[in-house]
Chain A
Amino acid sequence: MKKHKLVYKISCLFILTLILSGCWNQSQIEERAYVIAIGLDNAKDENQIKLTYLIANPEYGSQIQGGGTKEPPHEIISFVTDDLTTSRNAANVVISKEITYDLLTVLTVSQEFAKDKDFIRWMYDTTKDPEIRRDVHLVVTKENASEFFKKNEPKLETRPHKYFDMILDRGVETGMLPSSELIEYFRITEADADLFLAMYGTTKQNDDENQKRDNDNFTAGEFRYSGQTNTTNFAGSAVFKEGIMIGKLTADETRTTIMLNDELNATDVLTTYTDPFNENYRVATRVNKTKRNKVEMDLTARTPTIDVTIPIEIEVLSAHSMVDYEKDISKRKKLKKSIEKEIRTKIENLVRKTQEEFKAEPFGWSLVARKKFLTIPAYEEFDWMKSYPDMKVNIKINVTFGQFGRQSELPNEKEIRD
């Protein structure tokens, strides 16, 4: 009898725990609407935003037995709301399923809104919602985000999560886009020393004919292309200072920044440099950074100096001048010097731009600078962001050559024409 009582009590406890916990968080996978991308725009009222949801249609593109579907790959809804969290309920006026941010990969912000002084308040909404991951990419668009989503129509990767995943990751690999995860935005904003770079994209073509576009020197919208494809393009970066957008960098400048910043990483950079033997031609190269930069600082001097040595490995893929670099050491030396000089000028221009225009740097140098101080108050007193514009930055490039293409032998141009 005593034993029975015990069993009875324990089973009661067990049943109670079942009632008390679990199940509440339970929600069926097919009863949720998966938001792939969120767009933020200015609303008329200062305390409100215009929110855009890009919701994926799970049924699209899957071959289900028992009847497929002719539904579109996604649906887009824009509305004015107070914040990112309560908006989920508001959206249910139109959307039939529970809104979830589980698959959120992209947070898109219009350029106009990103420059708003209150922008940072809205960004901190994303830190409160447990469903929003910190590795969501921040993308700044030239036009309104709501418009951007409407015009964005990928032809092949029609499933939205796939499209954004692929194009943004590929952009980071080629160095045309910076890696711009939310966590970095918050880290850099809170450290209050460096600049944060966000991806830059648009669906609008820039019609300015006079702009110099060669040599990757463009931002999204300036790259000219034709054909039957998507109007969306991503290139370059938006520069954020203290959480607010202050400018833009071109794709080439973004690549240079990645070269300088060891925290950023581009694995597949193909670019061209002027051929020292014939100014008309350019040498096609693959740029690898195998080692970390050497950053040395002297912050005690009246004019603090930064000495940066950048080791770069270059593979020459093709040279239209048909100069035989592989066999001739002296020619290689000349090429090395020429490339080093070209990169140095590029970097120096960028550094000057950051010092004069942005008055802060996106190269992550403040992390190195911190180590030069004994205490945090000392570092804070130095005020990196304020001191940076007056610093003297010395750049040293150290180019080493890798392979010279698959076939090393080149025919003599004159002999062929003979």
Chain B
Amino acid sequence: MFKNLITKYMTTSKEKLYTQQSSEEAISIKEKDITSNLDHTTSTFKSIYSYPNNSDVKFRDIQIGGINKKAVLVFINTISDTDMIEKQILNPLLLNEEPSRKIDDLISAQSVSTAKKIRDILKEINKGNVALFIQGEKQAFIINAANFQGRGIEKAENEVSLIGSKEAFNEKVMTNISLIRKKIKSEDLVIESTTVSKRSNNEVYYVYVKDLVNDELLQTVKERIDQIDIDSIQNLAILEQHIEERQKSIFPTILNTERPDRAASFLEEGYIVLLMDNSPASLVLPATFWSFYHTAEDRYVRLFYGNVTRLIRMMAMFIALFTSSIYIAVTNFHAEMVPPDLLLAIAATREKVPVGAILEVLFMELAFELIREAGLRIPGPIGPTIGIVGALILGQAAVQANIVSPIVVIVVALGGLSSFAIGNISMNFTIRICRFAFILAAGAFGIYGITALFVVGIFYMVSIKSFGVPYLSPLTPKYLSSGDTIFRRMLKNEIFRPSYLKPKDMKKK
């Protein structure tokens, strides 16, 4: 009967579908070269761009002065610099009076190249460049005039630094490259680009320092990216999910940073940075656990300040992971571990709570996650309400109504607060999810469960690799490095680059 239902559903749904269409014809046209017949070429492009339905595609017919040839300029005016087209292309062409000059010499734009294949020409136009077709020419002139709209350089919002630089990457890749070049003024800084997707033609930029980066590592990264076979990759966040090694893993293995100074300092260690248009960030790979734990600020403040911050962050990580689960373990299995005063205080507050400790904690944790998620999605103007709702209704009122005990509010709030100390969003998620696993383990097996899960977690972390680099290196396994792991050393003692990257030059000084 079940089968019948399925087949019935399948057939009925098929009938309603639209008829299949093919874009094969259009594709075959794109593979051809252009001809010397200007009218033919123009009509081909007009049909490809659905002119004049496609409102921002412009075909400008002109008569080039001096040489007296008909010509057509094709560009998309929303992504090109129209001012520049007028001054550096149209004006010189129209106002020319000398018949002997070549087209290259007429146009005063920065770069002019030629292309023959329709597909290549289309690609350039789609990038915001201008294609110039001239009567009798079997090639098109491609003039650089791209100008995509985007916001300017703004302050870093997710990785705030008090005394470091305030600039953050934005959605224009050229700006991002410029920000990196500003920090590494070297001829060895190479920016290679490649197209990753087939339809949207998204480009990925590899950034690396030529005389530092390990060529095999670079090759691995390139191969991994070349293997992607997909129509569109919008931005780095999507790319990250395509190229990471374990896509179902709970731990992030590629660092996503919005700070150009962090990206630059990684480059100088021999890491590889990926950039893309539309992403106000960069991907750093390979990434180790420590790169998620560190912040840029750690290195900018003085040795002790930085290390104390790291100590606090490490403690916060453990507090976020373990407070709730230890509370459950202790109250359910190991009451004798608690000092009598605290034990009696917990027992007293729990006396009127209707549910068990595990449910109580889970309920409160869920409430906390709700506040966090809702607070993130809530539109700006009503933002402050979330604080009132969270603190008052969930905290105080729930306690007064004897739904949760006040100690659980403290425990959950402490864990929640601590989880904010881990700045990296991916690591933050990891810790928050792990916390629930620990709560369940504690609920089932007490401290034994927590310990067992922690040991398994450590095993797992040791087994992870990011582009061949062990996740916990240089701590486990031990590698020669600058020793920048849980704590950092004095800057003058940081002599080596991380040897797990096998950089071409090990010594920093």
A-side residues, CB < 8 A to B, are: 18, 21-23, 25-30, 32, 34, 56, 58-60, 62, 64-67, 100, 102-103, 105, 131, 133, 159, 161-162, 165
B381 within 8 A of A: no
B302 within 8 A of A: no
Q: Check if B351 sits within 8 Å of A66, measured CB to CB.
A: no
Q: Is there contact, CB below 8 Å, between A58 and B335?
A: no
Asked if A103 and B401 sit within 8 Å, CB to CB, the answer is no
The CA-CA distance from A169 to B448 in the complex, in Å, is 33
Q: How far is the CA of A64 from the CA of B346 in the complex (A)?
A: 10
Asked if A22 contacts B335 (CB within 8 A), the reply is: no
Contact A58 B356 (CB under 8 A): no
Interface pairs (19), CB distance under 8 Å: A26-B333, A28-B332, A28-B356, A29-B331, A29-B332, A29-B357, A30-B353, A32-B335, A34-B343, A34-B344, A58-B348, A58-B351, A60-B348, A62-B348, A62-B349, A64-B349, A65-B400, A66-B352, A103-B336
**B residues near A30, Cβ cutoff 8 Å:** 346-348, 350-351, 353
Give Cα A22 to B353, complex, Å.
Answer: 23
A102 partner residues in chain B, CB cutoff 8 A: 335-336, 343
Residues of chain B within 8 A (CB-CB) of A28 are: 331-332, 350, 356-357
Q: What A residues does B448 contact at CB under 8 A?
A: 22
Determine whether the beta carbon of B400 is less than 8 Å from that of A103. Answer: no
In the complex with contacts A30-B347, A102-B343, A161-B344, A66-B333 CB distance below 8 A: no
Secondary structure dominating the interface of B: helix
Nearest A residue to B441, CB-CB: A22
CB-based nearest A residue for B336: A102
B329 closest partner in A (C-beta):
A26
Q: Is B229 an interface residue (CB 8 A)?
A: no
Interface size on B, residues (CB 8 A): 31
Q: Are A64 and B449 within 8 A (Cβ)? A: no
A25/B333 contact (C-beta < 8 A), A66-B401, A66-B402, A67-B352 known: yes
A21 contacts which of B401, B406, B445 (Cβ < 8 Å)? B445
Report yes or no: B445 in contact with A58, Cβ–Cβ below 8 A.
Answer: no
Known contacts A29-B335, A30-B350, A67-B352; decide if A62 and B446 are in contact (CB<8 Å): no
Q: How far is the CA of A333 from the CA of B340 in the complex (A)?
A: 50
Tell me, in angstroms, the Cα distance from A27 to B443 when the chains sit together. 11
**3 closest Cβ pairs, A-B complex:** A30-B350, A58-B347, A58-B348
Within B323-367, the residues touching A (CB, 8 Å) are 331-333, 335-336, 340-341, 343-353, 356-357
With A62-B344, A62-B345, A161-B344 as known contacts, state yes or no: A29 contacts B399, CB within 8 Å. Answer: no
Q: CA A100 – CA B400 in complex, angstroms?
A: 29
| Closest residue of A by beta carbon distance from B406 | A65
Q: Using Cβ atoms and an 8 Å threshold, which residues of chain A touch B348?
A: 30, 58-60, 62, 64
CB atoms of A58 and B406 under 8 A apart: no
Cα A159 to Cα B348 in complex, Å, equals 13
A92 to chain B, nearest CB (A): 17
Q: Check B347 against A29 for contact (C-beta < 8 Å).
A: yes
Measured between beta carbons, the chain B residues less than 8 angstroms from A159 are 344
User: Which residues of chain B have C-beta atoms less than 8 A from A133's C-beta?
Assistant: 336
Question: Is B444 interfacial (CB 8 A cutoff)?
Answer: yes
Chain B residues within an 8 Å CB radius of A58: 343-345, 347-348, 351
Residue of B nearest to A103 (CB): B340
What's the least CB distance linking A209 to chain B, in Å? 41
A109 to chain B, nearest CB (A): 22
**Closest residue of chain A to B345, judged by CB?**
A62
Contact yes or no, A26 B332, CB < 8 A: yes
Contact of A59 among B351, B399, B400, B444 (CB under 8 A): B351
Q: In the complex, which of the residues B335, B352, B357, B399 contacts A100, with contact meaning CB atoms closer than 8 Å?
A: B335
Chain B minimum-CB-distance residue to A28: B356
A412 to B286, CA, bound (A): 85
Check if A65 sits within 8 Å of B350, measured CB to CB. Answer: no
Known: A58-B343, A62-B349. 12 other contacts (CB 8 A): A23-B444, A26-B333, A26-B446, A29-B332, A29-B346, A30-B351, A58-B345, A66-B399, A103-B343, A159-B344, A161-B340, A165-B340
* B43-86 interface bits toward A, Cβ cutoff 8 Å, 1 = contact, 0 = none: 00000000000000000000000000000000000000000000
Bound-complex Cα distance A141 to B333 (A): 34
Q: Please, how many angstroms separate the alpha-carbon atoms of A64 and B404 in the complex?
A: 12
Kindly list chain A residues whose C-beta atoms are within 8 Å of the C-beta of B344: 34, 56, 58, 62, 103, 159, 161
Complex Cα spacing A249 to B240, Å: 79
Write the chain A residue with the least CB distance to B330. A29
Query: Which of B331, B351, B353 has the most chain A CB atoms inside 10 A of its CB?
Result: B351
Please, how many angstroms separate the alpha-carbon atoms of A133 and B340 in the complex? 13
Residues of B within 8 A of A32 (CB): 335, 347
**How far is B494's CA from A115's CA once the two chains are assembled, in angstroms?**
73
Contacting residues, chain A, for B351 (C-beta < 8 A): 30, 58-59, 64
* Alpha-carbon gap, A165 to B339, bound state (A): 12
Kindly name the residue among A58, A102, A165 whose own CB sees the greatest number of chain B CB atoms within 10 A: A58
